[in-house]
Amino acid sequence: MSSAGPDIRCGRHVIRDDELQENFIRSAGPGGQNVNKVSTAVQLRFDAAASSLEERVRERMIRLAGSRATKDGVIVIEANRHRTQERNRADARERLAALLARAAEPPPPPRKKTKPSKGAIERRLKAKSGRAGIKKMRGKPAMD
């Protein structure tokens, strides 16, 4: 039930091993004789809301986790791609590390507003009036 692996690091951000909880469950799907006897799938739980990460990274991590995050801020990652428990444990930790790396990225710089050039504005207005003239010609002629 408990985890015994290294801390997850991404730059200066660290998820300590004691903040993780691993449960070993039976994997779903085909697998022959062992599928109903051996608990090879891993359910990795990380309480992001109560973690030691800085608040910006914590909130972004919960948002990026999407449906893998509970309403209490616990991120649950299930790994059952591999046939062995060890490889599934490593896979779950790698996926959590990738999520941390995405959350720790600095936000993109703000967009600079651009203004259309004077020539572009003139061309747009000329095209609009040309289109209006074409549509005006479609109507019935005015009786004078």
pTM of the model: 0.66
Instruction: Look at residue 80 and tell me if it is in a domain.
Output: yes
Average pLDDT estimate for 74-93: 89
Domain of residue 57, CATH code: 3.30.160.20
Confidence band of 1 (pLDDT split at 50, 70, 90):
very low
Instruction: Look at residue 76 and tell me if it is in a domain.
Output: yes
Query: What is the domain range of residue 84?
Result: 8-104
pLDDT recorded at residue 4 = 57
Instruction: Look at residue 1 and tell me if it is in a domain.
Output: no
**Whether pLDDT at 31 is above 70:** no
Instruction: Look at residue 121 and tell me if it is in a domain.
Output: no
DSSP state string for 84-138: SHHHHHHHHHHHHHHHHHHHHSPPPPPPPP----HHHHHHHHHHHHHHHHHHHHH
Instruction: Look at residue 134 and tell me if it is in a domain.
Output: no
* Structural domains counted in the chain: 1
